[in-house]
Amino acid sequence: MARILACGAFLKNAACLLDTKSPGSALWSTVHGDLSDPVACEALEQSVQALLAQADERIDAVAHDLHPDFFSTHLAQRLAHEHGVPAIAVQHHHAHIAAVLAEHDAQHAMERDMARPVIGIALDGVGLGTDGVAWGGEVLLVDGAHFERVGHLSPLALPGGDVAAREPWRMAAAALHACGMAEQIVPRLATTVGEQSARTIHTMLQRGLNCPQTTAAGRWFDAVAGLLGLSVRQEFEAQAAIALEQAAARYLQSHTLEVQASDWLVTPDGRIDVRPLLRSSLIATDCHSTTAVDEAAARFHLTLADALCAHAVAQAHLHQVRDVVLGGGCFFNRILTQRMTSKLESAGLNVLQARSLSCGDAGLALGQAWVAARATAMGRNFKLKAAVALVE
């Protein structure tokens, strides 16, 4: 048996206390918000102390995100030292899949090691990967405390770093560059953001200056919303993705749409690439036509879903897995979720999704605790094991 305190995500932070004697009754803090806010950090610290008091301060480990610089990571490491227990780092997307598994109690008896491996599809905006790159469009083979990355979306540059996540026009430029159409960046974007800004981003992308890579599905949604003229700068989180989903929903309410398998490809190393769709039709969309924009938005949704499902099905067959778990904030998107669920179930797979738990970062702590409990129960040095397994 294990009792795990988990310190949660950086965004929409909430902490969790999991006792594996009764895995369906985890204790939660309130949602504190983003840990860039000192008030949220103070609230998290107060919450974990309250959870520890409820546990009579008897815990077996403290779980936290893999990112070394988060306040939640520093807090977890300090608490682990004070209580003489391990601090266990859990990769963000592993935790998203584990949160769904924990909610479904898929293993039923953690200590008897009866959990079956699953294919996890984790889609969100950001989470530090084991290779130091920002992940967020991941296909994982999850087996308790261990996971293997068996696929991911083709990476995009983040021109200017984190600011690109708030300015979809930058992601549109990154998509043009990724598609070999960098010469279109200035003509397409200068009228929207100014010629100097467009030229600066073009130069940054061409030279690879301050353009870290990301595989995040959220950034692909931003890029397409930017290309279709649906969003230039975001006033709130996921504004561009919401606008893209709304456009797609308008089209699909009264139209059917056939998706071409030629609009994506999967490389031998598991890279899922939707650039063929952008090159063949999406970039050429008439942004002055609402119908054309809505159709392009719908086509992107369905193509992305089908590409991910095709690879997940192939991996499920390869690894003889029958369960596929969907986790991450992109699954708030109903079109994406419904399409993927339908495709996976049609392939004979069992789909697990969040029930009452948030599929986004607010529910992440439960997944962190689940992974840490598995590692503790199996008596592994989790950090060393993970470091070896995840680079295979």
The CA distances from residue 62 to 8, 32, 39, 107, 269, in Å, are 10, 18, 22, 21, 34
Smallest CA-to-CA distance from 372 within 160, 106, 65 is with 65
Asked if CATH classification 3.30.70.260 holds for the domain at 116-356, the reply, yes or no, is no
At 135, phi and psi to the nearest 5?
Answer: -95, 175
What is the CATH code for 1-90+360-392? 3.30.420.360
Query: At 238, which amino acid appears?
Result: A
Give me the percent of the chain exceeding a pLDDT of 70: 93
pLDDT at 24: 67
Under the banding of pLDDT at 50, 70 and 90, the label for residue 111 is very low
Judged by phi (left if over 0) then psi (alpha if -120 to 50, else beta), residue 33 lies in: left
Give, as one character, the DSSP assignment of residue 278.
I
pLDDT at 386: 41
Mean pLDDT of the 248-262 span: 94
Write down the pTM of the prediction: 0.93
List 273's β-bridge partners, or say none.
Answer: 265
Where are the chain's structural domains?
1-90+360-392, 116-356
Q: Is the pLDDT of residue 299 over 60?
A: yes
Judged by phi (left if over 0) then psi (alpha if -120 to 50, else beta), residue 96 lies in: alpha
pLDDT at 115: 64
Under the banding of pLDDT at 50, 70 and 90, the label for residue 21 is confident
**Farthest CA pair distance, the chain:** 63
What is the C-alpha to C-alpha distance for residues 109 and 196, in angstroms, rounded to an integer? 60
**Residue found under tokens 């738990």:** 357
Considering only CA atoms, give the Rg of the chain: 21
Cα torsion angle, 221, 276, 301, 304, sign:
negative
pLDDT at 110: 45
What is the C-alpha to C-alpha distance for residues 331 and 206, in angstroms, rounded to an integer? 33
| Residues 136-178: tens digit of each pLDDT | 999 999 999 999 999 999 999 999 999 999 999 999 999 999 9
pLDDT at 23: 61
What is the C-alpha to C-alpha distance for residues 331 and 100, in angstroms, rounded to an integer? 12
> What is the secondary structure of 119-166 as a DSSP string?
EEEEEEEEEE-TTSSEEEEEEEEEETTEEEEEEEEPPEE-TTGGGGGG
Domains 1-90+360-392 and 116-356 share a fold: yes
